[in-house]
Chain A
Amino acid sequence: MSAASAAPLKARGAPFRVMPGFKLSLGFTLFYLALIVLIPLSSVFLKTFTMTWDAFFSAVTSERVMASYRLTFGASLIAALLNVVFGGILAWVLVRYKFPGKRIIDALVDLPFALPTAVAGITLTALYSSNGWFGQFIEGVLGIKVAFTPLGVVVALTFIGLPFVVRTVQPVLEDAEKELEEAAASLGANSLQTFIRVIFPTILPSLLTGFALAFARATGEYGSVIFIAGNMPMVSEITPLFIITKLEQYDYAGATAIAVVMLVVSFLLLLTINLLQAWTRGKAKKS
């Protein structure tokens, strides 16, 4: 209705607006956006334009920075995969089953968003160091060191990414049409077949979106990682920390060059996430 009545007005070119404040609110929005976000962010790119191509290339491909990419992206990948598996199970359980304490658990899932990263960092370090609650057990029984190794980075990034998969899969599972499941069941499918053929295809886009969100967050993460990582160059030094190291050496250009690489990666991830969500939307429309 409203769309139809608005159309002829638009076609005439100058829409008559009842609502006031368009220029004021849009003007302020654009001004504030430019001042706080766009101008400062553009400084990163402008700074790299002052570098020669060779200087830029050698800054972003030095041996130490390559090792930090491997760690950052590798650990983020493992952490995001862990979150897909366990976050998927968590979302499933929260939507479909009833058990005591469910509401509190549902609220607690957001803890990694609410807890400052430095607090998460020192706490995970205390837990997984050699004399910590988890650390003494893992080291004593399995002989594996977690804190101050790349494994510690994975632990911190798993913590940070935990809510993403849960929160993207949950609404899709809630909206999943029961009729389809009923139909599958009445046609003789058992619950595993129903899951593989009916439910899994429905939640796959949201699982992938959650994965991408968790991965994107993990690649930029700093606070929760630096305490538990040990920060040894070539071994357990993440890329964001390397940027800070460069800054502390007053190598602004070097720091900025690596920042540009990270920014380009996060913009590509953002694009991927948007495409994945378009796919989710398309699926939702079809059903």
Chain B
Amino acid sequence: MDARKGEEIMSTNTTAAAGVDTALPTARRFEPNVGPVVLEPLWVRTVLITIALLFLTTFLIVPLVAVFAEAFKKGWEAYIAAIIDPDAISAIKLTLITAAIAVPLNLVFGVAASWCIAKFDFRGKSILLTLIDLPFSVSPVISGLIYVLMFGAQGWFGPWLQAHDIKILFAVPGIVLATIFITFPFVARELIPLMQSQGSEEEEAAIVLGASGWNTFRRVTLPNIKWGLLYGVILCNARAMGEFGAVSVVSGHIRGETNTMPLQVEILYNEYNFAAAFAVASLLALLALVTLALKAFIEWRLNESDADDSALRSTEH
């Protein structure tokens, strides 16, 4: 038991290591039900809470309000007009297509990676964990650059691609590839600690009783990891739809063709069409808010299932 616990702690830490999103390990914890034993004097508490709230208001709440205020500055009609603009619509479509390709691929990878890492012991596991997290420690600009070096006119495959008239860079495939790179670790890093903490007794029991591997995964593993899976997918999707730097390098900024929503925001903003830029930006801000709400909901569900693990599992079987 002890060994596994140690492993679990380690893995949570490695996943947080490279990271962008260290939110998970915290948020899943229980709120301590007893307050601190040594409570600071009232004036200290008041001052600290005031500082914290002021900081949060200045850096988070006011900017969030400002997105919508700027978007509606010229009224509803201008807002709607900016969103149903053909260029904006095609940007929305491209963003949705990109996410629809990148997220499922990284989902399949995440499940495969967490299956072999959580259920088996093999040499080099910690190196593999670090490599999976690598894209998080690479600057978005460099994430785009690597695909320019591979597929650009001067790149490795550039001449071959040109000879066969295949466009990857400054076209949709390049955008999709850069997005896959950027969102690569999201699902895996949520699932690995979760599956490690669950162990493999239940799956072993199913196999011994004669279930096939696929059935074991579908009937035993999947119900146990579904909330963690969803959590990873939501974070992955938010980043896939919102990525700017990497996509900006590989896109070529062709209006109506290779502009995703964040790139469309940039173009409109640079043309001093602020109301339209903020109108498209407000859609992305809404996406962020929905992501945060779903995230809070799933964290609550995960807490519930942590708290009442045995009860939940017995209802699911």
Contacts and interface: CB of A to CB of B under 8 A. Distances in A.
Interface string B253-276: 000000001110110010000100
B207 A40 contact: no
A115 B52 contact: no
A44 B207 contact: no
A115 B207 contact: no
Contacts of A247: 145, 148, 249
B61 A108 contact: yes
B26 A170 contact: yes
Interface stretch (A52-60, A63-71, A155-163): A155-163
For chain B, the bracket of interface size reads 35 or more
Contacts of A182: 37-38
B128 A29 contact: yes
A116 B278 contact: no
A118 B262 contact: yes
Nearest to B270: A227
Interface of chain B: mostly helix, strand, loop or mixed? helix
Given A3-B2, A37-B134, A43 B149 contact: yes
Given A114-B288, A163-B23, A266-B138, A255 B145 contact: yes
Contacts of A95: 32
Contacts of B23: 109-110, 113, 163, 167
Interface string A98-115: 110001011111111111
Contacts, number: 330
A228 B172 CA distance: 28
5 contacts: A21-B116, A113-B235, A123-B70, A227-B269, A266-B139
Interface in A1-43: 1-3, 6, 10, 15, 17-22, 24-26, 28-30, 32-33, 36-41, 43
Contact of A105 (B56, B62, B149, B277): B56
A243 interface: yes
A215 B56 CA distance: 19
Interface stretch (B77-85, B224-232, B238-246): B238-246
B285 A168 contact: no
A164 B22 contact: yes
Report, nearest first, the 4 A-B pairs whose CB atoms are least far apart.
A220-B139, A116-B242, A20-B213, A3-B3
Contacts of B284: 115-116, 118-119
Interface in B18-33: 18-23, 25-27, 29, 32
B3 A19 contact: no
* Among B180, B263, B292, residue most surrounded by chain A Cβ atoms (within 10 Å): B292
A38 B63 CA distance: 37
Given A105-B56, A115-B284, A116-B288, A38 B131 contact: yes
Given A111-B64, A163-B23, A2 B245 contact: no
A117 interface: yes
B146 interface: yes
Interface of A: 1-3, 6, 10, 15, 17-22, 24-26, 28-30, 32-33, 36-41, 43-44, 47, 86, 89-90, 92-99, 103, 105-120, 122-124, 126-127, 133-134, 158-159, 162-164, 167-168, 170-171, 174, 178, 181-182, 184-185, 191, 194, 213, 216-217, 219-223, 227, 240-241, 243-244, 247, 250, 252, 255-256, 259, 262-263, 266-267, 269-270, 273-274, 277-278, 280-281, 284
Contacts of B58: 134
A111 B22 contact: no
Nearest to B205: A18
A222 B244 contact: yes
A1 B149 CA distance: 51
A119 B134 contact: no
B207 A18 contact: yes
A200 to B, nearest CB: 14
Interface string B1-41: 11110000110011011111111011101001011111111
A17 B121 CA distance: 10
Contact of B56 (A90, A116, A174, A191): A90
